[in-house]
Amino acid sequence: MKFCGRNSAGAIGMEVLNAVEMSHRFIEPLLAQATLLVDATAGNGNDTLFLARMASDNAKIWAFDVQSAAIEKTRALLVKHDVLSKVTLVAESHEMLAAHVLGGIDAVMFNLGYLPGASRNIITRPQSTTAALKFALKQLNPGGRITIVAYPGFLEGAQEETEITRFLATLDQLHFTVASWSMLNQRNQPPRLYVVEKRRSERRETTASRKN
Ligand code: SAH
């Protein structure tokens, strides 16, 4: 998994970005070639808008949210930016991915937790998140990526992160690269990004790599 930041001065180097910003950086390189993209948690629509603005006109984007208020916010944002035609909005759980999204997927974005400013009772749950993740992993094209932004700053969010981490750690390294990113010196448990990439080909274990 290659990532190289370019700062505003045009120099290549390390940029310190938060988890959501970093999720965009990991997905962005895929978007010119992508044909099937998923925002698994539309929320306020920012990730869906990011996908719709950056993807080619050939791309089909699916955005899911269980709250119709979130779907409507997302729709309004997409209309404002004149990109609604690229997106299919689904007011259902991302567990229903398999019923809607057919074919190889290039990228899936999860932004977990609750909708900022709305009820904290409607949150993503480990069981449904993991079910959606399992389907996404199966359908992901080689080289495709999944980003998951987790919020350990509240109890259920922390529990969900623990379960997701446990699940991600079981993925076979021959088939998937799994990494994480977070700020280490911020107060109140900042969000953490997980990135999964489906490997293009199985890495063969060579004598050299065994020695390392
Ligand atoms: N906490 C983030 C925003 C997360 S929004 C932030 O601060 O930016 C998470 C969204 O996931 C919410 O809009 C919520 O309605 C949605 N959601 C919860 N469970 C879901 C499910 N099973 N399928 C799809 N969306 C879900």
pLDDT tens for residues 154-184?
Answer: 999 999 999 999 999 999 999 999 999 999 9
* Of 121, 89, 91, 94, residue with least CA distance to 110: 94
Give distance in angstroms: CA of 111 to centre of ligand 1. 6
pLDDT of residue 14: 54
Length of the chain: 212
pLDDT of residue 43: 97
pLDDT of residue 11: 44
What is d(CA 149, CA 194) in angstroms, rounded to the nearest whole number? 6
Which atom of ligand 1 is closest in space to residue 64's alpha carbon? Answer: 24
What is d(CA 146, CA 148) in angstroms, rounded to the nearest whole number? 7
Best residue among 21, 110, 115 to mutate for probing ligand 1, ranked by most atoms within 8 Å of CB: 115
Q: Identify the residues whose C-beta falls under 6 Å from ligand 1.
A: 41, 43, 64-67, 70, 93-94, 111, 113-116, 122-124, 128, 151
Name the residue with the closest Cα to ligand 1, atom 21: 93
Which residue positions in the chain have pLDDT lower than 70? 1-15, 202-212
Name the residue with the closest Cα to ligand 1, atom 25: 65
Give distance in angstroms: CA of 42 to centre of ligand 1. 7
pLDDT of residue 80: 98
Which atom of ligand 1 is closest in space to residue 111's alpha carbon? Answer: 4
Name the residue with the closest Cα to ligand 1, atom 23: 93
What is d(CA 38, CA 59) in angstroms, rounded to the nearest whole number? 10
Name the residue with the closest Cα to ligand 1, atom 6: 116
What are the helix (H) ranges across the chain?
19-27, 46-54, 68-80, 97-100, 126-139, 155-168, 207-211
Residues 92-113 have pLDDT tens digits of 999 999 999 999 999 999 999 9
Which atom of ligand 1 is closest in space to residue 40's alpha carbon? Answer: 24
Residue 178 backbone phi and psi in degrees, to 5: -125, 130
